[in-house]
Amino acid sequence: MFQDLTYCTSSLENKKKTCRKKYCEHCLTKFYNEPPLSRRDKARWVCPSCRRICCCAACRRKELKQGGGAASARCTSAAPRSSSRSGNVVGWEKELASRKQNGRDSRSVPMDYDAVLDLEELRLMAIARETNASAAAEEDLPVASDNAIDEGPKNHRSVTPSDESANLVEAAEFGRDDSHLTTPHLRCTVAYMLAIAQFGTVKEMLRRIVSRKSVGSHEKVQLISVLLRRIHQKYAALAQQPKVEPRESF
């Protein structure tokens, strides 16, 4: 295994080695278009990094800091870094040039690929599955107390499927106008947590927000502030409604 490695022989005038990098013959052939070296050539071989023709991310960042930027220009003469886009792929030089014109210099990711949108879509699908699973599994949940801060006494009732679906739709309507939230994931999480707040207590809602690993600390603060404001608005509207006194029975 170690016989295929080619060590860099870059050294100073006093024959002190300045580079300890080593490359295998497969990588040299595939990524730098260098043929296999003989034993005599290996004795005086210098690595692409010392020759300033390396197109890896570290060498490109180093040259950009130094102001040269020649590594990116030399990448077109060598094979690309990605194994899926080796030198035998037709037309990769033209695509690389078009990406540089558009301000993108990534050769391992297709131009029409958007990982951020795909991740958000997966998160929304996961939240929808979690909401449906929790709604189907939980049959007897406590009702939220009148005070949004203090739990107070818990009232238990049986939740029918019609009431449950109506509450979920109402919670989604509450979270629909939260335009100041940064991502659709946060807006969907607001609707999900509002559904929990209508079935259970505020303490349970806050516990679920803190335990969610897919939401950052700054996003958790946004969620808690939005949810508490929504709950306060809801109970303030309920308090303004006229109270109907029970009729006395004779």
> Could you report the per-residue pLDDT of 111-168, keeping only the tens digit for each?
444 444 455 566 666 777 766 666 655 554 454 444 444 444 444 444 444 444 444 4
pLDDT digits (tens, 9 = 90+) for 16-65: 777 878 888 888 887 777 887 787 788 888 888 787 777 777 777 777 77
Residue 207 corresponds to which tokens in the numbers above? Answer: 């516990």
User: Which pLDDT score is estimated for 30?
Assistant: 79
Cα separation, 119 vs 117, in Å, equals: 5
- DSSP letter at 5 equals E
> pTM of the entire structure?
0.27
- Binned at pLDDT 50, 70 and 90, residue 200 comes out as low
Which pLDDT score, from 0 to 100, does residue 56 have? 77
SS3 23: strand
Query: pLDDT-derived band of residue 238, with 50, 70 and 90 as boundaries?
Result: low
b or e along 1-12 (b: 16 or more beta carbons within 10 Å of the residue's beta carbon)?
Answer: eeeeebbbbbee
For the chain, give percent helix, strand, coil, nearest 5: 55, 5, 40
Average pLDDT over residues 205-227: 69
Helices (H) and strands (E) in the chain, counts: 10, 4
Q: Using the predicted structure, report yes or no on whether residue 190 has a pLDDT greater than 50.
A: yes
Which residue has better confidence, 135 or 180? 135
Q: Round to whole Å and give the CA distance between 220 and 186.
A: 9
Block residue for tokens 């600390």: 217
What pLDDT is stored for residue 134 in this prediction?
A: 63
Looking at residue 116, what is its pLDDT? 44
d(CA 63, CA 57): 10
For residue 10, the model assigns a pLDDT of 76
pLDDT at 1 (0 to 100) = 45
**Residue-range domain boundaries for the chain:** 2-101, 115-240
Say if residue 209's pLDDT is above 60: yes
pLDDT band at 5 (very low <50, low <70, confident <90, very high): confident
Q: Given this model, what pLDDT does residue 19 score?
A: 80
| pLDDT of the residue at 117 | 45
- Nearest residue to 198 (alpha-carbon basis) of 231, 154, 220: 231
| pLDDT one-digit tens code per residue, 74-96 | 444 444 444 444 444 455 555 55
